[in-house]
């Protein structure tokens, strides 16, 4: 492989040293790059099962072979770590410009181990690393941190990934933020970084990317952009209106999580939280990550009221649902304010909104009591919701309980708290329903990083009706069917492939850019032919690799669960009305298609053998 694609920059914060390691080219052949190579490296570095908040937990930032290239949507970067939220592997994927900048330093992986004694910043400038003091920045929000640090470093071209107070305070769903508003969001990478006393990573790169066939790649990229914009969802929704347009579609379909998932319709919010209201209420500018023609992101400024002038990235759909419908709040300015605050505090907005919605239900049910906490927060309570956001980040009062996530809070509160604790494996649910997509039910249960709607975004198939002949996803697939889940596998592979390539899931979960087109782009980057089938098989290998990593941390079929609300309570309204999830049936079908053992939920020896992974042992000695 040409040039610098196997070079990883290792920084040990305990020792204050950095080293360049050449990773095995076989890893780039077998796991392609990005999340694939990061997962493989993590298996070695974390084989002892480190405490997620210990110096031994590595954080691996990984760009992919297409990151920063002419391929569309190629601004992605993954952070890989053991999750403080779940104890599983963590993989949090951010857009913006950090990945391409990392790539241009001459490395595609930046590996941080150890922990500093006082707050530090890691600066990687074109292949040179230094670790500088950050005591003046500790406590600062994301925006101030980025601005101060860029000023201090001087010059142009710096990209920053940093944590806010929530990461410093080890909030288990703290994010690492980049470009101020893009998040390595899920699973608590900010807490892992905070436990290392690492306030920020600043990278600047000026090197040329090693593309084997730049002209071929440009041509393939052109074709990919055409595919992207021939998909009407991209052209007519995502590009002109961004993710806020999802709100109308999802609420309209009756699959919008409302009142902490007790409802799936929220018709009273349509006029006030839909994307028309969004563009009327807020001063909106589109935002694009590196190389992205979609520009799904939105930058907003609140035009009036108590938060007039407050601005930032989003709120995206997930944030509108998290602080809005889940909390039964119909106040877009308050939702935008909660979003902007959470981003600046370095909180994952999805988990933050969910823990607040859960707290609301706990107060409703008397599990949390006003007399114990000095105040209560109820559904629709705008002030209560807003107050909790900084309290969580600073671990004040009730915020301290919620900062460990709904699973741990419920464990402290007793068994009756579990029903409202909407999580899988300790990670809070996003805003994508599992009653109205039994595919999504499987995805949430089996995702290697806890409740996750994106591996793959199964709703696209069984709720929105997309089909993809190239993946063999054709014909009748009904949202309510518990069995016949074999169509998830190829879609999951395509989604994983994008995470390995360093490109955006929005280009694959919309089924706009085809797997064969990604394979072509990769082939041009590498200078050797990688077929669609090979790419998908390698993605399957990484899916299995991650499954085995979690197995080594003790996760098996027993942990592939859903909140009881979905398996025990019937849906009250919306598309899933009268439905519940028969998870065992769905998992049986899915495991069979994956070649995973029905009892353990782990890859069979045959499956591991077929994928070249049969050397992985679940039980192993120290690293």
Which residues would be at the binding site for a copy of itself (CB under 8 A)? Answer: 1-4, 22, 24-30, 40, 44, 47, 528-529, 605, 609, 612, 614-617, 620-621, 623
Cis peptide before 287 (omega within 30 of 0): no
Min separation Cβ 599 and a copy of itself, Å: 20
- For residue 393, the SS3 value is helix
To the nearest whole angstrom, how small is the minimum distance from the Cβ of residue 107 to a copy of itself? 13
Taking the CA atoms of the chain, what radius of gyration do you get in angstroms?
Answer: 22
Residue 353 CB, shortest distance to a copy of itself, in Å, is: 41
Q: How far apart are CA 25 and CA 19, in angstroms?
A: 18
What is the CA angle 535-540-545, rounded to 5?
125
Nearer to a copy of itself, 309 or 621 (CB): 621
Q: Is 108 left (phi over 0), alpha (psi -120 to 50) or beta?
A: alpha
- Residue 479: how many other CB atoms lie within 10 Å: 24
User: From residue 585, how far is each of 411, 484, 565, 592 by CA, in Å?
Assistant: 28, 9, 17, 11
CB 535 within 8 A of CB 515: yes
* Other beta carbons within 10 Å of 137: 21
Q: Which uninterrupted H or E stretch holds 582?
A: none
415 conformational bin, left if phi > 0, alpha if psi -120 to 50, beta if neither? alpha
Residue 242 or 502: the one with the smaller Cβ distance to a copy of itself is: 502
Distances in Å between the alpha carbon of 9 and those of 59, 84, 105, 196?
Answer: 12, 24, 10, 17
For the CB of residue 528, give the shortest distance to a copy of itself in the complex, in Å.
5
CB of 570 or CB of 623, closer to a copy of itself: 623
> How are beta strands 198-204 and 120-125 bridged, if at all?
parallel
d(CA 510, CA 233) in angstroms, rounded, equals 8
Min separation Cβ 547 and a copy of itself, Å: 16
Residue with Cβ nearer a copy of itself (230 or 529) = 529
Q: Which of 78, 82, 132, 130 is nearest to 103 (CA)?
A: 78
Instruction: Give the span between the Cα atoms of 79 and 115, in whole angstroms.
Output: 17
Q: Give least dist CB 207 to a copy of itself, A.
A: 11
Rounded to the nearest whole angstrom, what is the least distance from the CB of residue 117 to a copy of itself in the complex?
Answer: 24
Using the structure block, give the residue that is written with the tokens 């996530």. 405
Least distance from C-beta 24 to a copy of itself, angstroms? 5
Give the nearer residue to a copy of itself in terms of CB position, either 491 or 596: 596
Quick count: other Cβ atoms within 10 Å of Cβ 516?
15
Contact 252, 463 (CB under 8 A): no
Instruction: Indicate the residue among 413 and 616 with the shorter CB distance to a copy of itself.
Output: 616
Task: Name the minimum Å distance from CB 109 to a copy of itself.
Answer: 14
From residue 412, give the alpha-carbon distance in Å to each of 350, 377, 406, 407, 563: 22, 19, 10, 9, 17
Q: Which is nearer to a copy of itself, 447 or 523 (CB)?
A: 523
The most distant pair of C-alpha atoms in the chain lies apart, rounded to whole Å, by 68
Q: In a 10 Å sphere around its CB, with 0-12 CB exposed, 13-18 middle and 19+ buried, how is residue 144 labelled?
A: middle
Which DSSP state fits 83?
Answer: -
- Least distance (Å) from a copy of itself to the CB of residue 210? 10
CB of 33 vs a copy of itself, minimal distance in Å: 12
Q: Are 174 and 351 spatial neighbours (Cβ–Cβ below 8 Å)? A: no
Q: Which of 375/623 has CB closer to a copy of itself?
A: 623
């Amino acid at each position: 492989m040409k040039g610098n694609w196997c070079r990883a920059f290792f920084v040990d914060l305990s020792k204050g040293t950095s080293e360049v390691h050449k990773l095995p080219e076989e890893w780039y052949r077998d796991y392609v790059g990005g999340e694939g190579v990061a997962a493989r490296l993590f298996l070695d570095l974390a084989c002892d099962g480190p405490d997620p908040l210990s110096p031994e937990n590595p954080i691996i930032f990984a760009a992919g072979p297409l990151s920063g290239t002419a391929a569309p949507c190629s601004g992605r970067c993954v952070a890989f770590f053991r999750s403080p939220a779940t104890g599983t592997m963590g993989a949090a994927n951010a857009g913006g410009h950090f990945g391409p900048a990392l790539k241009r330093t001459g490395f595609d992986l930046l590996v941080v181990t150890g922990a500093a004694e006082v707050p530090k910043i890691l600066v990687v400038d074109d292949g040179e690393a230094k670790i500088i003091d950050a005591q003046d920045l500790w406590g600062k929000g994301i925006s101030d941190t980025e601005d101060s640090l860029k000023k201090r470093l001087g010059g142009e071209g710096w990209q920053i990934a940093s944590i806010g107070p929530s990461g410093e305070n080890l909030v288990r769903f703290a994010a690492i933020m980049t470009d101020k508003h893009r998040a390595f969001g899920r699973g608590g990478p900010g807490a892992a970084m905070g436990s290392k006393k690492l306030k920020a990573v600043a990278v600047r790169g000026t090197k040329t990317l090693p593309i084997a066939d730049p002209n071929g790649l440009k041509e393939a990229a052109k074709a990919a952009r055409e595919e992207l914009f021939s998909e009407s969802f991209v052209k007519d929704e995502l590009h002109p209106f961004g993710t806020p347009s999802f709100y109308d579609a999802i609420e309209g379909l009756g699959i919008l999580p409302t009142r902490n998932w007790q409802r799936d319709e929220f018709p009273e919010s349509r006029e006030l939280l839909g994307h028309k209201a969004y563009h009327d209420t807020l001063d909106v500018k589109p935002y694009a990550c590196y190389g992205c023609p979609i520009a799904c992101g939105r930058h907003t400024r609140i035009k009036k009221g108590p938060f007039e002038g407050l601005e930032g990235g989003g709120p995206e759909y997930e944030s509108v649902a998290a602080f809005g419908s889940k909390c039964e709040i119909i106040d877009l300015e308050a939702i935008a304010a909660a979003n902007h605050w959470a981003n600046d505090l370095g909180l994952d907005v999805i988990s933050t909104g969910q823990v607040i919605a859960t707290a609301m239900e706990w107060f409703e049910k008397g599990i949390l009591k006003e007399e114990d906490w000095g105040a209560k927060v109820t559904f629709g309570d705008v002030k209560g919701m807003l107050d909790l956001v900084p309290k969580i980040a600073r671990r004040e009062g009730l915020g301290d309980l919620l900062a460990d996530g709904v699973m741990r809070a419920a464990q402290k509160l007793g068994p009756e708290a579990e029903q409202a604790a909407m999580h899988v494996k300790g990670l809070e649910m996003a805003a994508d329903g599992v009653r109205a997509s039994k595919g999504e039910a499987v995805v949430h249960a089996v995702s290697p990083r806890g409740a996750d709607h994106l591996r793959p975004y199964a709703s696209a198939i069984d709720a929105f009706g997309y089909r993809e002949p190239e993946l063999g996803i054709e014909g009748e697939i009904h949202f309510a069917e518990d069995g016949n889940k074999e169509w998830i596998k190829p879609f999951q592979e395509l989604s994983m492939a994008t995470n390995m390539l360093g490109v955006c899931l929005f280009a694959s979960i919309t089924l706009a850019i085809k797997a064969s087109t990604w394979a072509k782009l990769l082939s041009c980057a590498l200078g050797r032919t990688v077929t669609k089938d090979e790419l998908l098989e390698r993605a399957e290998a990484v899916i299995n690799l991650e499954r085995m990593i979690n197995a080594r941390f003790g996760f098996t079929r027993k942990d592939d669960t859903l909140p009881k609300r979905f398996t025990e309570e019937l849906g009250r309204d919306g598309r899933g009305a009268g439905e519940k999830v028969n998870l065992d049936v769905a998992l049986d079908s899915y495991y069979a298609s994956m070649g995973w053992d029905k009892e353990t939920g782990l890859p069979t020896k045959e499956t591991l053998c077929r994928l070249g992974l049969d050397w992985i042992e679940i039980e192993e000695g120290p690293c």
